[in-house]
């Protein structure tokens, strides 16, 4: 399979990249950090990397065009890139909503619009949108992050309805607290988090199902519950 992953330089995106690479698939990833991309490339020389800021429409569109020039087919698109700024709506920094909407929602919207037509022509494909338990329930200090993730889940559900007749599967992944750099310095024990590798395993497993079934939504939380 040809696999495209945004925000792949760390956390869940990196774990997903490593899983598909171990299974022998062709991969294109993007990230803002050229240094992190170089580390990925050094560890997995066969992958293709592209540096861009997904929150900037022109740059995510350039990434989409790079994918189309590099791969003849687009089999799996994983809209994983995201950003989190904690705060309450009435107290958060000016522009916080715009930053998170641009990164968490618009990047997926613009990239999907570029790559989905290739899947429609193939009459096959998988699209994963990395939502959050914050897509289901607002929580303290969630602010504009929750707004952006509610919107991403709505995008994902709409996409599912529009693409099912073309044999394209759309899955919303809704993780709870996951042990990534985002929680660095929290001083919480490791057993209060899900593992990024577990989410990667779920994403990969979903791509191995028969053509007759689709996982529409999957929620994965720490065993001990939300933080």
Average pLDDT along the chain, 227 residues, taken 10 residues at a time: 96 97 98 94 97 98 98 98 94 96 98 98 98 92 95 98 98 90 74 92 98 97 89
Residue 183 has a pLDDT of 67
Q: Which CATH superfamily is domain 2-220 in?
A: NAD(P)-binding Rossmann-like Domain (3.40.50.720)
Residue 188 has a pLDDT of 83
Residue 220 has a pLDDT of 95
CB-based contact 32:26 (threshold 8 Å): no
Active-site pick, 118, 149, 169, 204: 149
Residue 185 has a pLDDT of 67
Query: What's the pTM?
Result: 0.95
Does residue 19 carry a catalytic annotation? Answer: no
Does residue 149 carry a catalytic annotation? Answer: yes
Q: Give dist(CA 54, CA 81) in Å, integer.
A: 7
Active-site pick, 126, 145, 169, 204: 145
For the chain, which residues make up each domain, given as ranges?
2-220
Residue 165 has a pLDDT of 98
């Amino acid at each position: 399979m040809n696999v495209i992953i945004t925000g792949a330089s760390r956390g869940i995106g990196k774990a997903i990249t490593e899983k598909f690479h171990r299974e022998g698939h062709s991969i294109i990833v993007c990230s803002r950090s050229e240094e992190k991309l170089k580390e990925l490339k050094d560890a997995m020389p066969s992958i293709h990397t592209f540096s861009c800021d997904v929150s900037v429409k022109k740059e995510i569109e350039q990434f989409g065009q790079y994918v189309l020039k590099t791969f003849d087919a687009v089999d799996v698109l994983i809209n994983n890139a995201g950003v989190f700024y904690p705060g309450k709506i009435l107290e958060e920094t000016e522009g916080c909503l715009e930053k998170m909407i641009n990164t968490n929602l618009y990047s997926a919207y613009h990239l999907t619009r570029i790559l989905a037509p290739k899947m429609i022509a193939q009459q096959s494909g998988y699209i994963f949108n990395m939502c959050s338990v914050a897509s289901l329930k607002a929580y303290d200090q969630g602010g504009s992050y929750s707004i952006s993730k509610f919107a991403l889940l709505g995008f994902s559900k709409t996409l599912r309805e529009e693409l099912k007749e073309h044999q394209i599967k759309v899955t919303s992944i809704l993780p709870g607290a996951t042990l990534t750099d985002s929680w660095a310095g929290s001083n919480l024990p490791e057993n209060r988090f899900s593992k990024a590798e577990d989410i990667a395993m779920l994403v990969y497993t979903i791509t191995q199902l028969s053509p007759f079934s689709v996982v529409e939504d999957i929620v994965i939380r720490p065993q001990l519950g939300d933080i």
